[in-house]
Structure 1
Amino acid sequence: MGRTVRNVFVAGCVAFWLIPLYLLIVNALTPATGYTGEPDWTPQGFAIFDNIKTAWSDAGIGDSFLSSALYAVVCGAAAVLVAAMAAFAVVVLPIPKPAFWFWLIYSGTLFPLQMFLAPLFGMYADGNLYDTRLGLMLVYVAWAVPFAFFLVRNQMTTMPPEVTEAAMLDGASFLRIFWRIHVPLMAPTLGAAFIFQFTAVWNDLILGITLSRSPDVQPVMAALSTLSNAYASSGPPVILAGALIVSLPTLLVFLVFRGLFLRGVTATARS
């Protein structure tokens, strides 16, 4: 009985996720001029490429797509690198009060992002960082560091200190110990942390609409939200086609690196 209930629950969760995806794909296929205003449950045509072209070129979502790719890759990698260095300092280096530094960095995940928006907007406006790629990249890195630090630090605490001590006896500097020993051993966890941060940056909406407005600077989720207003007369098929192409990068990253992701999450869970 319990197994039947579990299987029914899992099947319901799968259906709950797949039905909206099915509707998105089917209605993205519908020609914009032939959309009736009601969701279609069966394909009413095959205008997916026309809808994608309208969303990508005519609506300008392509520029934002490339900007988000830049933000997600560069900021995700930079955040993981900074987090790994911070974790190495807290766990390995002989710094005073390591618990204090851990909670100071990790506290960045404890406060709601909305409380920082007004001060950030004022600082960016005064510092000429508003509506610039550099401004968004700085805030994305700072936003992504705390959670990546938490993942990497948890895994780093499981590494035997004898490894570091042996390297120091051989005359290795802390910088060499970090790059030659800890980074290779932490590769799965670093990869998992990067996938988490890539997804978080790619899916960001609130920072994008608060700190940018130009199509070539805005992240893709912010551009997609404006697309629903600018192309409301074209009907949902264009908007859904844009949502479809926007959802592909995170899916592809997870599918390509799923083995690395699972090893990294497993290693972190065991720590």
Structure 2
Amino acid sequence: MGRTARHVFVAGCVALWLLPLYLLVVNALTPAADYRGEPDWTLQGFALADNVGTAWKEARIGDSFQASLLYATVCGLVAVLVAATAAFAVVVLPIPRPAFWFWLIYSGTLFPLQIFLAPLFGLYADTGLYDTRIGLMLVYVAWAVPFAFFLIRNQMTTMPPELTEAALIDGASFRRIFWRVHVPLLRAGLGAAFLFQFTAVWNDLLLGLTLSRSGDVQPVMASLATLRATYASSGPPVILAGALVVSVPTLVLFLLFRGLFLRGVTASVR
């Protein structure tokens, strides 16, 4: 009975996940002119290319897509690099009070993002960083570092200290130990941290809406939110087609590197 209940529970969870996906795909395929004002449960046509074209070109989702790809890739890589060096300092280097530095950096994940929006908006307006790509990239890196630091630091604590001691005896510097010993052994954790931060930056809405307004600067999720108001007359098919397109990068990334992601997460929670 217990096994049957588990199977039913898993099947119900799968159905709850697949049902919205099914509605998304079916309604994204519906021609905008044929939309009747309520969700279609059966296929009414195949106008995905037209709906995507409207969202991509006329609504300029394409510009935001490229901007988000830049933000997610560059900021994810920079955040992982900064987090890895910080984790190395806390775990390996003989610094005083390492627990204090750990909690100081990790505290960046403990506060809700909403409390930073008003101060950030005022700061960006005063410094000229508002509605600039460099401004968004700076805040995305700062936002992504604490959680990446947590993951990488957890995996680094599982590495035997004898590795560092042996390298020091051989005359290696701490910089060489970091790049030649720890980074190769941390590849799974670094990869998992990058996937997490890529997804977080790609899916960001609040920072994008607060700190940008131009189509070539605004991230894709913020542009998708404004698409609903701008193209309300086109109906949900155009909006859903845009949502379907912007979900592709993270889906492809996880499918390609799911093994690396699982190894990294497993190593980080030991």
The TM tier, using the shorter chain, reads over 0.9
Could you say which residue in structure 2 is the equivalent of 1:4? 4
- After superposition, where does 1:220-231 map in structure 2 within 5 Å? 220-231=220-231
Shift of the alpha carbon at 1:269? Answer: 1.8
Shift of the alpha carbon at 1:5? Answer: 1.0
Could you say which residue in structure 2 is the equivalent of 1:62? 62
Normalising by the residue count of structure 2, what TM-score does the alignment of the two structures yield? 0.99
Note the alpha carbon deviations across 1:68-115, whole angstroms, 9 max, x for none.
000000000100000000000000001000000000000000001101
Could you say which residue in structure 1 is the equivalent of 2:168? 168
Could you say which residue in structure 2 is the equivalent of 1:153? 153
Could you say which residue in structure 1 is the equivalent of 2:72? 72
Could you say which residue in structure 1 is the equivalent of 2:35? 35
AA in 1 matched with 2:185: L
Shift of the alpha carbon at 1:266? Answer: 1.1
Shift of the alpha carbon at 1:213? Answer: 0.3
Note the alpha carbon deviations across 1:23-81, whole angstroms, 9 max, x for none.
01001111000111111111101100000000000110000000000000000010000
Could you say which residue in structure 1 is the equivalent of 2:241? 241
Could you say which residue in structure 2 is the equivalent of 1:214? 214
Instruction: Give the distance between the partners of 1:38 and 1:119, measured in 2 at CA.
Output: 40
AA in 1 matched with 2:125: A
AA in 2 matched with 1:77: L
Could you say which residue in structure 1 is the equivalent of 2:85? 85
Could you say which residue in structure 1 is the equivalent of 2:106? 106
Instruction: Give the distance between the partners of 1:156 and 1:240, measured in 2 at CA.
Output: 42
Shift of the alpha carbon at 1:263? Answer: 0.7
Instruction: Give the distance between the partners of 2:139 and 2:38, measured in 1 at CA.
Output: 40
- After superposition, where does 1:20-31 map in structure 2 within 5 Å? 20-31=20-31
Instruction: Give the distance between the partners of 1:38 and 1:110, measured in 2 at CA.
Output: 40
Instruction: Give the distance between the partners of 2:269 and 2:110, measured in 1 at CA.
Output: 20
Could you say which residue in structure 2 is the equivalent of 1:258? 258
Could you say which residue in structure 2 is the equivalent of 1:200? 200
AA in 2 matched with 1:226: T
Contiguous gaps of at least 5 residues in structure 2: none
Note the alpha carbon deviations across 1:161-202, whole angstroms, 9 max, x for none.
111111111111111100000000000000000000000000
Instruction: Give the distance between the partners of 2:154 and 2:268, measured in 1 at CA.
Output: 6
Deviation beyond 3 Å, 4+ runs, structure 1: none
Instruction: Give the distance between the partners of 1:125 and 1:169, measured in 2 at CA.
Output: 52
Instruction: Give the distance between the partners of 1:226 and 1:79, measured in 2 at CA.
Output: 28
AA in 1 matched with 2:83: A
Other structure's SS at 1:245 match: helix
Instruction: Give the distance between the partners of 1:30 and 1:169, measured in 2 at CA.
Output: 68
Shift of the alpha carbon at 1:227? Answer: 0.3
AA in 1 matched with 2:244: L
AA in 2 matched with 1:53: G
Instruction: Give the distance between the partners of 1:148 and 1:227, measured in 2 at CA.
Output: 32
AA in 1 matched with 2:234: S
Instruction: Give the distance between the partners of 2:70 and 2:21, measured in 1 at CA.
Output: 26
Shift of the alpha carbon at 1:211? Answer: 0.3
Instruction: Give the distance between the partners of 1:149 and 1:18, measured in 2 at CA.
Output: 33
AA in 2 matched with 1:85: T
Instruction: Give the distance between the partners of 1:37 and 1:121, measured in 2 at CA.
Output: 37
AA in 1 matched with 2:85: M
Normalising by the residue count of structure 1, what TM-score does the alignment of the two structures yield? 0.99
Instruction: Give the distance between the partners of 1:235 and 1:33, measured in 2 at CA.
Output: 8
